[in-house]
A and B are shown apart, each in its own frame.
Chain A
Amino acid sequence: DVKVTQSSRYLVKRTGEKVFLECVQDMDHENMFWYRQDPGLGLRLIYFSYDVKMKEKGDIPEGYSVSREKKERFSLILESASTNQTSMYLCASNRDFGYGYTFGSGTRLTVV
């Protein structure tokens, strides 16, 4: 089974901190994605990557950046965390577009 592992289940950070959310997949998938999930808003795509060092903006990229230096790892960076970035963050991967995603368990980030 494909595994997508997110480094932390819960994180508490202070406003203004730089935050790194790490995601690793172990099945050599080409594509990786970062979503955030909020009550009433569903899942919203932040960024995705279809190759190493490649990235594409999703629907809500403002306040975030990403890094994909290795195929298996996709990092989401909050340059200066703000309280409105308190959310559940979900990483996903798939082997090619048109195929199902495999999601990680999520990181619940609280910014205080």
Chain B
Amino acid sequence: GAVVSQHPSRVICKSGTSVKIECRSLDFQATTMFWYRQFPKKSLMLMATSNEGSKATYEQGVEKDKFLINHASLTLSTLTVTSAHPEDSSFYICSASPQRTSGRMETQYFGPGTRLLVL
């Protein structure tokens, strides 16, 4: 159980185009989904927190107009990199946290990541 998928696994695009990445929780409902960015040989940096049915909360320094997040259902969140540039090339990882029943913090389960290369 607790499987999270991401699509696509890798994408190459031209500078100036937009790219959409999907994150799905396959066997549980996720109240909250998270989007991270991982640079080579670096740790994961949280970009934003996405709650179903509400606006995402972005971390300091992350441009919300550039990284559009939509959490339309309890099993799907999308990240759209708008007008992508070469510096946006990175590994983007989502995670999902099961719907809470007790108010207790739940574990995050991670997707396999999407490697974006902007030419």
Chains A and B come from one and the same complex: no
Binding site for A on B (CB under 8 A): none
